[in-house]
Structure 1
Amino acid sequence: MTAAYYAQCVISFGAALGSVALGVIFLPIDPWLRAFLAVSVLYVVTTAFSLAKCVRDRQEIVSMASRVDQARLDKLISEHDPYKVDTL
């Protein structure tokens, strides 16, 4: 991930959240409805972060398991000698 991509993601997230916040603030509705919408948006944002973290963690687990399996296979291949004769 480059610094420019990271900055673009952060700016995009800030713009989206700011736009929704301004929309909720300037809606011509009752303050209780406005508060409900604001809490709903915060809930969606926090669950989106949690979901992203879970997906990342799952990908790391799968990647780690495949690396361990690959290391085991590499070890078996390196230790195997097809010309070795087993003596009884």
Structure 2
Amino acid sequence: MTKTVQPSQTAAFYAQAVASFVVSLGAMGIALVYLPAAGWVRGFLGLGLLYVVTSTVTLCKVVRDRQETAGVSNRVDQARLDKLLAEHDPFKVEV
């Protein structure tokens, strides 16, 4: 049976991802505060920003769940195939 190596994330990659998210969200927040527009326009853009962030998090979760499900199903299929091959005797004569 072949083992698949699961890629792991380093602490530096995780820190970089979190820092990138915080910087981008902070920059957009500052830009919305100093935007020379009416308050309702800034509020509308702020709600749009929150919608983009929440939908991105949801999309990431859906993609991750789909990959995990595919991995589990592949392992189950591989186990079934291994069992069939182990039980198969090509020299057995069926009567």
Q: TM-score, normalised by structure 2?
A: 0.86
Runs of 4+ in 1 over 6 A off after TM superposition: none
2:88 pairs with 1:63 = no
2:71 pairs with 1:50 = no
Match runs of 1:1-88 below 5 Å: 1-86=9-94, 88=95
The CA deviation at 1:28 is 0.9
Equivalent-residue separation in structure 1 for 2:67 and 2:27 (angstroms)? 32
Percent identity, please. Answer: 53
Letter in 2 for 1:60: E
Equivalent-residue separation in structure 2 for 1:10 and 1:77 (angstroms)? 46
Equivalent-residue separation in structure 1 for 2:40 and 2:92 (angstroms)? 80
Letter in 2 for 1:84: K
The CA deviation at 1:83 is 2.6
Q: TM-score, normalised by structure 1?
A: 0.92
Structure 1's unaligned 5+ residue stretches are none
| Larger RCO, structures 1/2 (Cα 8 Å, 6+ apart) | 2
Give SS of 1:62's match: helix
